[in-house]
């Protein structure tokens, strides 16, 4: 089964709101009161991420009190992975959970907070590298939209799926 056919029903089931997140900034158009999962669903650019969070059983965690900082890869970021990778991960809950929790940092880390940081420990246990010399990079991913506010944390949109060692 190809990725679109596999992810379609999961993504459609989660699309309950059609609100689009706007430009970078403190509020970013994110609806107050919506948690990280609902904010990602509402954006429409994270159907693969949302499906992966569901498959890993992490929805309730990311709907929890937090606060959390999520480096959220777009659908295009997932599409950069080698063919069959997403499908294989969706069937391997342990590997999927390891990768997804590598994208989450405990606490609410806003863009202004990373200026002096070179790394941050993830929920997965390993640290991500942070480079602010030319824009903001986490590992090999560029932050393409920062500070998308959610009720239980913040989302920073990235252009590449980052992988733990």
- Statement: residue 37 has pLDDT above 80: yes
- Statement: residue 63 has pLDDT above 60: yes
The CATH number assigned to the domain holding 54 equals: 2.30.180.10
Residue 135 within a domain: yes
Residue 163 within a domain: no
Dump pLDDT digits (tens) for 97-134.
999 999 999 999 999 998 789 999 999 999 999 999 99
Alpha-carbon distances of 4 from 17, 18, 78, 109, rounded to whole Å: 20, 20, 12, 33
- Statement: residue 24 has pLDDT above 50: no
- Statement: residue 21 has pLDDT above 60: no
39 and 31 Cβ atoms separated by less than 8 Å: yes
Query: Can you tell me whether residue 28 is helix, strand or coil?
Result: coil
Residue 40 within a domain: yes
Its domain, for residue 136, covers 3-158
User: Closest Cα partner for 14 from 45, 43, 51?
Assistant: 51
Q: Which residues contact 159 (CB under 8 A, 6 or more apart)?
A: 73, 74, 76, 77, 141, 142, 144
**Residue 1 pLDDT level (bands cut at 50, 70, 90):** very low
Residue 164 within a domain: no
Residue 72 within a domain: yes
Residue 165 within a domain: no
Which has the higher per-residue pLDDT, 2 or 88? 88
Residue 92 within a domain: yes
Calpha distance 163→165 (Å, rounded): 7
Calpha distance 138→124 (Å, rounded): 15
Total domain count, the chain: 1
Residue 17 within a domain: yes
Residue 71 has what pLDDT? 98
């Amino acid at each position: 089964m190809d990725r679109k056919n596999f992810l379609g029903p999961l993504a459609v089931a989660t699309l309950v709101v059609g609100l689009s997140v706007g430009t970078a900034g403190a509020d970013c158009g994110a609806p107050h009161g919506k948690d990280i999962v609902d904010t990602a669903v509402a954006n429409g650019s994270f159907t693969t991420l949302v499906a992966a969070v569901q498959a890993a059983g992490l929805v309730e965690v990311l709907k929890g009190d937090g606060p959390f900082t999520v480096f959220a890869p777009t659908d295009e970021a997932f599409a950069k992975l080698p063919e069959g990778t997403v499908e294989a991960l969706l069937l391997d809950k342990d590997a999927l959970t390891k990768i997804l929790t590598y994208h989450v940092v405990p606490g609410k880390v806003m863009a202004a907070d990373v200026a002096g940081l070179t790394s941050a420990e993830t929920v997965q246990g390993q640290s991500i590298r942070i480079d602010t010399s030319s824009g903001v990079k986490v590992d090999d991913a560029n932050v393409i939209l920062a500070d998308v506010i959610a009720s239980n944390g913040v989302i920073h949109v990235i252009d590449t799926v980052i992988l733990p060692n």
